[in-house]
Structure 1
Amino acid sequence: GNGINVTPNTVQKWISYLENAYIIDEVPRYSKKAKKELEQSRKIYDSDVSMNSIRCKDNRFDLTHNMENIVYNELVYRGFTITVFDNNGKEIDFLAEKGGQRTYVQVAYSVVEEKTWKREFGAFSGIPVYDRKVIITNDDMDYSTSAVEHIRLIDFLQNESGI
């Protein structure tokens, strides 16, 4: 192929260089089923969201990934400890913890389509009632349910005191 031959160890070393330069953050994934951090499947977020366009293949711009990256950066800025949460095979973008409070956060560009709504809201299935569950989108319509709070991205970014 056209790729270069490198070992996983070399890739991990490069990732650590980028982390040490504050260019990226490597976020651990926590498994509900295994009740432990999964070492092999971490997610990477850019400190500068504009860097996402460099990683795009075929000039495809992924708005949802950029939104997810923006929300990640803002949560870190607000002092949350972040992990990606594997809820029995359904990924929840962020488990944000601060001051003993846990908030599960999903990010989607839109949940207007029923298939997307079911996937995004369904990821919260089985999460304890007492933990806060939030979905952040660009949708103007309020999709909140009795269990999940819907917040527009612009409202999230303008309200520094909360999530």
Structure 2
Amino acid sequence: MVRHTGIRDADALERVIRYVLGEEGHLITLSNIADYMKSEHRKISSETIAGYLNAAAKAFLIYRVPREDAVGKRTLKINEKYYVVDQGLRQATGLSNANAIDQVLEGIVCMELKRRGYDVRVGKVGNKEIDFIARKGGETEYYQVTYLMGSQQTVNREFGAFSGLADNWPKTVLSMDEFPRTRDGIRGRNIIDWLLGR
């Protein structure tokens, strides 16, 4: 990638990509990354960071997911999310997939939605976040992703993310629960069954 893009500081590129992989599924700004690099005693401009992220996206290492106001249907200009195209890259850079299972599952779902041909966005509804707004052929689906519905707090958070949406498009909470629950017309599904199309 360094050779094809003309990037001169391979170490800085690697650090930026590693940071993004570690923050997979979290909202990221260029200033977040610049602050991280500064803490690593590496001063780097936002423009350079943006160039690194664009190069990594063009090389299909990461996928950028824009954020949108799910009610107003407009793209927000700050705070995007990035997902690694292959979860093995996280492991290869020394990041533990086992310690970030929620992030890994979210990344897998994002890439599967892309594979199925959806345009994927992160949704904002007031102060709540919807993991994915997926659109294809004039239709919309909403997804929340979590490892397990282990507590009532988790159930309320995941199903509650859809409150404030006035439309009737399908809403799904994906988890590793063997027998997922359904609530208020929002379907719970096992991630493996969903991935396999069952």
> TM-score, normalization: structure 2?
0.74
Identity within the alignment, %:
30
Aligned twin of 2:169? 131
Task: State the distance in 2 between where 1:91 and 1:52 align.
Answer: 24
- Tell me which protein shows more helix as a share of its residues: 2
Q: Which amino acid counterpart does residue 134 of structure 2 have in structure 1? A: A
Q: Which residue of 58, 62, 76 corresponds with 1:20?
A: 58
Larger Rg: 2
Residue 13 to residue 143, structure 1, CA distance change in 2 (3 Å): same
Where in structure 2 are there 5+ consecutive unaligned residues?
A: 1-38
Contact 2:131 / 2:144 at 8 angstroms: preserved in 1? yes
- Are the aligned partners of 2:122 and 2:131 in contact in 1 as well (CA < 8 Å)? yes
| In structure 1, distance between residues paired with 2:71 and 2:170 | 20
Distance 1:133 1:3, change over 3 A: farther
Contact kept, 8 Å, 2:120 with 2:135, in 1: the verdict is yes
d(CA) in 1 for partners of 2:181, 2:167: 18
Higher strand share: 1
Q: CA RMSD in A?
A: 2.0
After superposition, where does 1:1-163 map in structure 2 within 5 Å? Answer: 1-32=39-70, 35-53=73-91, 54=93, 56=95, 61-159=99-197
In the TM superposition, what is the alpha-carbon distance from 1:142 to its structure 2 partner?
A: 2.4
TM superposition shift of 1:111 = 1.2
Structure 1 runs not aligned, ≥5 long: none
8 Å CA contact retained: 2:71, 2:165: no
Q: TM-score, normalised by structure 1?
A: 0.89
- 2:13 is aligned to none
